[in-house]
Amino acid sequence: MRVLTVMTVGTLLLLAGCSEEAAKTESESLKDTVGSPNPASVFCVESGGKLELVQEQKGTVGYCHLPDGSIVEEWTYFRANHPVN
């Protein structure tokens, strides 16, 4: 009976330790995601464009003002230059 109790307590401690590590990893992952820049905005600026954020009825939209004078929605510009294979 004593062996069963020790085994049960040991198993519970092991499982508790594993779940805490998973929670830390998920939390750290969230911190990395929150601080990540918008790839479409970064691509606009790296291409020599200027980013303009406009508040529209459905939310905020980013427009990229390119050096040639054209204005393109940032995600449209990003997708046109990063095709999915």
pLDDT (tens digit per residue) in 30-76: 555 677 899 999 999 999 999 999 999 999 999 999 999 999 999 99
* Rounded distance between C-alpha atoms, residue 6 and residue 29, angstroms: 35
Under DSSP, the state recorded for 58 is T
Give the pair of three-digit tokens for residue 61.
């939209």
pLDDT band at residue 3 under the 50/70/90 scheme:
low
Parse the chain into domains and list their residue ranges. Answer: 1-36, 39-81
Helix (H) or strand (E) holding 2: helix 2-34
* Rounded distance between C-alpha atoms, residue 81 and residue 73, angstroms: 13
